[in-house]
Chains A and B, each alone.
Chain A
């Protein structure tokens, strides 16, 4: 695999500790996610048809996934007919090799890239660097993290972890003509000036795809900045990298999905720039690429298709709503997940892409509160899928021994009601030895709780004990 997060030794709890201690990070996370949550909610107020649209969107993606072979072939046929070149890549290495080969064939010194999470997933930025090809990230957030030498921390706002103050410092150090005043507007203008000639002088433009339209062979990209069009139009070659699950039957189906995607992602009704790319430049066209390549990437998706639980994850349209609404993401941010995809969808995808043994904490670092599923525009049962990974990691012996022993003991006792009643009666009395007033501030075997919270002391006698007494005395009421 091309270098991605998987190559790093990732210690989840250490990353979490670092993230929780970083007040600036928390400030940055809140500034974006709070706004995103509010805007999505407002968008749904204006869209009372959302519930039905969500059912339909779910059905459209289920239909595509259930007929993926058909749609892949149909898309390929129509894309070829439009003059596009189609390439197939079974994994990240193959995908990167194809892109590098195409760049070299084009004699590329400089490529522009419009944000694509698939590109991140397959490690394309790293592969381009290794091949000695200059990579210019054009999405503003990707530009920021390229300057910082970092990876995305969110799938919609890759630089979500950066405050405006941090962005300002990066731009001042790197831009040829940086901003003079400390306002976000001025910083955006600084990036605009910096990237202008890069757009025009690139040899190859690389984008992802939000949807692949089977009936026309078109590729749909959505951006608010317009950077996808500025990336894909001036260069001689446009390369698209897309996961094989990105298909929809037609443009009308794409429209139904766009209504869900954009509202869930940013709270707008439609992205400012929604573009359908069909083939290369035509005879007489004023501009556009002479070559149009589409790399269809499997990278674990056909494996997910074979798994009835994970198959549901192939509906994902990468809106990011699950992470915006995740209590864990909002405390630790995206980098602590140590993978391309953070948050709930990432905690499901990463074990599928990289192996559960490399991501064993992720499915457990979730309270199973269900809010992610509630906001998911294609109804992915994320908590159920996370629980599925927990089941697998239990079976594969990846759950820590202390947890296995504790739960084993609990089960042993709970399967024996008499022993359980005796045990709980003893336990509540033992716990009371540690109380001060009604609270316990430190309790052996429960340090994980009492390190942070006080624990209410038990009443001294269990409900079952008290109930038996009352029943013997001929009444139940306290």
Chain B
């Protein structure tokens, strides 16, 4: 007998049954998701966009935020951020057609981040107001490492993409990409005496540009 069968047999023996009833199990699993409002914190304000904006700059997330009216204003907003941090106008820019169509005159751009990249810019697929989370899906125009290698992680998010709660993203996660990366702040650690330090291995700074 294979190890697989040995384990499944001992699990079935422990549960004292032969075959599970998938329909009954699915119904029970669905019932466990009923009334989600009872098991999650309410948003501080009803509008998910405003809730996200409040949340993402709160100490719990610790990101910085700039709001712009239209995507066309993104290159200038990024320039302001880089200038404020004394950084050159150089970026690992996600090869997202919408971003690439903007006017990046004066920038040195690359597709993917190097291990010592100073700044990378990517477009989040979704935002989650409950936790101030940005969601990225890996793919042809999204390298996972772009969210993890740079010191400054700059993310652009369009307001209509903001969902209220974690479950709202779960409902939209199918089909699943290879990696769904939920980013909630910059990299941090409390591994030395519990004291919080940013920039453990991933970005030390998270800057969000919210469009709309």
A and B in direct contact, judged by CB atoms within 8 A: yes
Residues of A participating in the B interface, judged by any CB pair closer than 8 Å: 28, 31-36, 46-49, 52-53, 56, 59-60, 63, 66-70, 72-73, 82, 88-90, 94, 138-141, 144, 157-160, 162-164, 167, 184-185, 187-189, 191-192, 195-197, 199-200, 216, 218, 224-227, 229-230, 233-234, 244, 249-256, 258-259, 266, 268-282, 284-288, 296, 298, 302-303, 305-306, 311
Residues from chain B with a CB closer than 8 A to the CB of A68 are 11, 15
Those of B172-211 within 8 Å (CB) of chain A: 173-174, 176-195, 197, 199-203
B17 / chain A contacts, CB cutoff of 8 Å: 69
A255 touches B176 (CB 8 A): no
| CB-CB contacts below 8 Å: B126-167 with A | 130-131, 133, 138-145, 147-149, 166-167
Q: How far is the CA of A13 from the CA of B36 in the complex (A)?
A: 48
Query: Chain A: which residue is nearest B177 at the CB level?
Result: A278
CB neighbours (8 Å) of B60 from chain A are 268-269
Query: Which A-B residue pairs are the 6 nearest by beta carbons?
Result: A226-B202, A286-B143, A306-B14, A32-B194, A225-B200, A305-B14
Kindly state the separation between the CA atoms of A345 and B38 in the bound complex, as whole angstroms.
28
Interface residues on B, range: 35 or more
The reply on B70 being an interface residue by CB < 8 A is no
Q: With A and B bound together, what is the CA distance between A250 and B26 in angstroms?
A: 10
A226 to chain B: closest residue by CB: B202
Nearest-CB distance from A320 to chain B (Å)?
Answer: 12
Given the complex of chains A and B, what is the CA–CA distance between A130 and B33 in angstroms? 46
CB distance from A353 to the nearest CB of B (A): 16
B40 contacts A90, CB within 8 Å? no
Known: A216-B176, A288-B178. A272 touches B188 (CB 8 A): yes
Contact A163 B193 (CB under 8 A): yes
Which of A191, A268, A278, A296 is close to B178, meaning CB atoms less than 8 Å apart? A278
- Would B32 and A287 count as touching, CB distance under 8 A? no
B176/A287 in contact, CB under 8 A:
no
B187 x A269 contact (CB < 8 A)? no
Q: Is the CB of B192 within 8 A of A250?
A: no
Residues B39 and A224 in contact, CB atoms below 8 Å apart: no
Cα distance A185–B203 in the bound complex, in angstroms: 14
Bound Cα distance from A276 to B135, whole angstroms: 11
* Also in contact, A276 and B39, with CB within 8 A (given A159-B192, A255-B170, A288-B138): no
| Also in contact, A253 and B176, with CB within 8 A (given A200-B115, A285-B139) | no
Q: A256 touches which one: B20, B39, B186 (CB < 8 A)?
A: B39
| CB-CB under 8 A for A69 and B11, given A28-B193, A49-B39, A288-B179 | yes
- A226 near B203 with CB under 8 A, answer yes
Q: Which residues of A contact B112 (CB under 8 A)?
A: 286-287
B56 to A: closest C-beta gap in Å = 12
Is there contact, CB below 8 Å, between B166 and A255?
A: yes
> In this complex, what residue of B is CB-closest to A278?
B176
Is B102 interfacial (CB-CB < 8 Å)?
no
Tell me the smallest distance from the CB of A62 to a CB of chain B, in Å: 10
